Amino acid sequence: MKTLVTGGAGYIGSHLVDRLLADGHEVVVLDDLSMGKMANIEHHLEDRRFQFIEGSVLNQPLVRETLHGCDLIFHLAAVVGIPYIIDDPLRGILTNVVGTEVVLEAADEAGCRFIFASTSEIYGKSEKVPLSEEDDRLLGSTRVSRWSYSTAKALDEHLVLAYHQKQGLPVVILRYFNSYGPRLDPQGYGSVVAKFIGQTLRGEPLTVHGDGQQTRSFTYIDDTVEGTVLAAECAEANGEVFNIGREEETTILQLAEMVKKITASSSQIIFVPYDDLYGSRFEDPRRRLPDASKAERLLGFKAQVPLTEGLKKTVAWFRGNL
């Protein structure tokens, strides 16, 4: 099967590419290398079943041409990471909305199954525990630029579902919950896990934002990829939305302590007020726990990797790559 992965040089994308090639797919990667890195995929460059095309999902003729002959597309190309979104909301909105529309239209033309990478950020600051796919979303003011990411991804989900409804395009939407693992950006802009590991390995203090009692459900990359592949293979998943995440909440302070312990670091933990980082117009989800029962029921997916084990593997990678 010929498969296109947009954003295939990125953190999740490149792990997905590894898995697809191992499973016998022919894989084309389209990536503009704005967030992705050649280092993530260069080990495949000699493989005849692999092709890399450098370019943007905003380039409509290129996307059309690239999709020609593909049966399946994983659309992961996006601007991700809240610091990036806050720094340049316009770039985030355009890439994440226009790019998805371009790829969807081309997928429809080519008649290929469309797997869309969405996010737990969709739920905004909802404090419902756990969060199910049908739940309401709760966002703050448009003056808080963080919410432009949630809004863009939600519009994408609407687009994907509209193509499914109107055009009969086979689609699946996956809402990833805080994926972490090797190949995260060592500067940590996309993930607190990378940030803390990078800080301990450089002997810097670990910067916990706010009171550190906010929670996330950290999901190891192998689980993220497994859920993605299962969703692409499952006929019953057509037209459905799934939470892909591990059903365990961890506070950010607990995470900092775990990283310190695993790296045997003597770095201090310091608390940084949100205002010092982003000014007064910032909001942060307080809790985020998925109800992953739908993915288990329909896809047979359940996240397996405990946080300590995943963190140890991630630390090992960072030690070799920082």
Closest distance to ligand UDP from the beta carbon of 153 (Å): 11
What separation, in Å, do the N-terminal and C-terminal C-alpha atoms of the chain show?
36
Please name the helix (run of DSSP H) or strand (run of DSSP E) that holds residue 249, with its range, or none.
none
Phi, psi angles (nearest 5°) of residue 321 = -125, -5
Nearer to ligand UDP, 151 or 207 (CB): 207
Q: 118 with 137: CB under 8 angstroms?
A: no
According to DSSP, the residues that pair with 244 across neighbouring strands are 176
- Least Å distance, CB 189 to ligand UDP, is 8
Distance of CA 230 to the CA centre of its chain: 16
Q: For the chain, what is the radius of gyration of the CA atoms? A: 19
Nearer to ligand UDP, 23 or 284 (CB): 284
Residues making contact with ligand UDP (CB under 6 A): 82, 121, 178, 191-192, 195, 207-209, 214, 216, 252, 284
Closer residue to ligand UDP (CB): 162 or 277: 277
Least Å distance between CB 214 and ligand UDP?
Answer: 4
Active site amino acids: 149
**Least gap, CB of 70 to ligand UDP (angstroms):** 30
Q: What SS3 state is found at 97?
A: helix
User: Which residue lies nearer to ligand UDP by CB, 177 or 301?
Assistant: 177
Nearest residue (CB) to ligand UDP, 24 versus 203: 203
**Residue 212 beta carbon to ligand UDP: minimum distance, rounded to whole angstroms:** 6
Compute φ and ψ for 162, nearest 5 degrees.
-70, -40
Q: Is 181 within 8 Å of 169 (Cβ atoms)?
A: no
Which CB atom, from 81 or from 170, has the smaller least distance to ligand UDP?
81
- The residue whose two tokens read 């593997």 is 313
- Indicate the residue among 72 and 244 with the shorter CB distance to ligand UDP: 244
312's tokens: 């140890």
What are the CA-CA distances from residue 29 to residues 59, 76, 156, 164, 176 (Å)?
A: 14, 10, 21, 24, 20
CB of 213 to ligand UDP, least distance (A): 10
Output DSSP code: residue 87.
H
Q: Least separation, in Å, of the C-beta of 180 and ligand UDP? A: 8
